């Protein structure tokens, strides 16, 4: 990763979180009771508890709000998706580990180093 890209990435992340703090505060103060009746009359600590979520997940709830997506969808069984994810992830992890072990750099022992290097190390 180049230095410029890393700087840009961290700047974007900071900007995302600053925006999130503003949206999050708006959410917990004004929006929460409108989005869910259970939040009406809830206490101060409940608002504190949901603030990190409001700040970090702001694109998710904001787009949901704009698109007026149905928030109550019927529950579904997810067992098949669990299995499919494992079927994909498990071999990928094993493969990556085997590859990393195979191409692991071999650190030369002292007796295989050139004599000049050993002399320099002794100095």
Partner 1 sequence: MSHVYKAIDWNRFKRRYDLVLALGLLAFLGAFMALSIAAQPPGQSFTPMQLAIRAFGAAAFLLLNIILAIGPLARLSKRFIPLLYNRRHLGVVCFVLALIHGVLNLLWYQGFSALNPLVALFVSNPRYTSIAGFPFESLGFAALVILAFLAVSSHDYWQKVLGSSFWKVLHMGIYFAYALLVLHILLGVVQEEKPGLYFAAVAGAFLLVSGLHFASALIGRVRDKKVQSSLDGWINLGDPAAIPDTRARIVHTEEGQRIAVFRYDGKISAVSNVCAHQNGPLGEGRVTDGCVTCPWHGWQYRPEDGRSPPPYNEMIPTYRVQIDNGILYVHPQSLAPGTPTPPAVIEGS
Using CB under 8 A as the criterion, which residues of the chain lie in contact with partner 1 when the complex forms? 1-3, 6-7, 9-10, 13, 32, 35-36, 38-43, 45-46, 48-50, 52-53, 55-57, 60-61, 64, 69-79, 81-83, 85-86, 89-90, 92-93, 96-97, 99-101, 103-105
* Cα→Cα distances 91→87, 94, 97, 98, 121, Å: 7, 5, 10, 10, 44
Q: Which residues contact 55 (CB under 8 A, 6 or more apart)?
A: 17, 20, 21, 23, 24, 25
Which residue, 11 or 119, has its beta carbon nearer to partner 1?
Answer: 11
Smallest gap, in angstroms, from Cβ of residue 115 to partner 1? Answer: 27
């Amino acid at each position: 990763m180049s230095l410029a890209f890393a700087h840009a990435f961290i700047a974007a992340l900071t900007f995302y979180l600053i925006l999130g703090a503003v949206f999050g505060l708006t959410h917990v103060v004004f929006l929460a009771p409108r989005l869910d009746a259970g939040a009406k009359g809830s206490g101060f600590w409940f608002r504190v508890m949901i603030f990190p979520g409001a700040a970090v997940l702001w694109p998710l709830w904001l787009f949901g709000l704009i698109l007026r997506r149905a928030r109550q969808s019927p529950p579904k069984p997810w067992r098949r998706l669990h299995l499919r994810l494992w079927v994909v992830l498990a071999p990928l992890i094993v493969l990556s580990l085997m590859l990393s072990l195979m191409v692991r750099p071999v650190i030369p022992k002292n007796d295989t180093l050139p004599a000049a290097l050993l002399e320099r190390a002794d100095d």
